[in-house]
Amino acid sequence: MAPYFRHLTTKVVECPNLGAKPFYLGRAGISGDATLANVGSYDYLIPCADHGKMYNFVDVARYSGISFGMVLGGGIGPFQAYQKPCECEVPISERASNNFFSATGQFFITEATPGKVIELKAAGRVNCHNIFDLIQKALYNKYSKSSSPVALGGVFFLQNSAVEVNLLNDLPKEPYHTFPCFKEFQTTFKIEGPIIGTGTIVSHDPNNQDLVTQSFYCWDTEKQLTGHFENDICPDMANYTVYLYPARNILRLDKPYYRK
């Protein structure tokens, strides 16, 4: 990754307290037993949203075998419950009215204990790809010949740049013989920094499991806006601190049957 940033360091460190500023997550760490869960598929949204594809966070956590900890990542809101997209632009913390998500989700389920993590600090991006695509590319170059993928989950803190994000703003209703562009059903907008985010990265997909190779959701530290991360807006100024931890297992649920 060094050619893609003016400044880059990676090392293994003790995880800072993620329950404190600036992250304010529900647990202090991301270590311990961990599973990356890849549920459903974007194929269940295109060309026509499949209203039968709704999943329960509680079930996914139970299938992971991890009974206590934290879930990082995100997915599509349960539009079946509201008959419209229900991803919220404003991050809120309240008692959930239900435990469901729709179509697809990528989650890092961890015991969330304090411990060692991979710390990556990067500043001055000089490539058009976003930082998580570049991390995924580095993992692919290192591990693509392996029969098992490497899966990571974690958090990031971005300073000195706004970000571009997207959210689902409409449900595809196209005839099944058409192939609409998914971006036509998304709203893209800007969030001013500093930015906090969580998500998952997978090196490669050797067993054709239709794995999403990277997905991060983020919000501003003032908790005014949130969305699915696309890229920083000021690459020269962007300053990232990323903490990642490897998953022991990958849990693949409800892969499309036609994905061989």
Type of residue numbered 92? I
Domain residue limits at 228: 2-253
Assigned domain for 121 exists: yes
Number of domains in the chain: 1
Q: Which carries the bigger pLDDT value, residue 90 or residue 192? A: 192
Answer whether the bond into residue 47 is a cis peptide, omega within 30°.
yes
The percentage of the chain sitting over the pLDDT mark of 90, rounded to a whole number, equals 70
CATH of the domain at 83: 3.30.1330.80
Q: Are 165 and 228 in contact (CB under 8 A)?
A: yes
Query: Looking at the domain assignment, is residue 259 inside a domain?
Result: no
- pLDDT tens, residue by residue, 123-166: 999 988 999 999 999 999 999 999 999 999 999 999 999 999 99
Per-residue pLDDT reduced to its tens digit, 48-78: 888 889 999 899 999 999 989 999 999 888 8
Task: Compute the average pLDDT of residues 173-195.
Answer: 79
pTM of the model: 0.92
Q: CA–CA separation, 105 vs 227, rounded Å?
A: 14
Q: Quick one: which of 127, 106, 109, 115 has its CA closest to 209? A: 106
pLDDT band at 173 (very low <50, low <70, confident <90, very high): confident
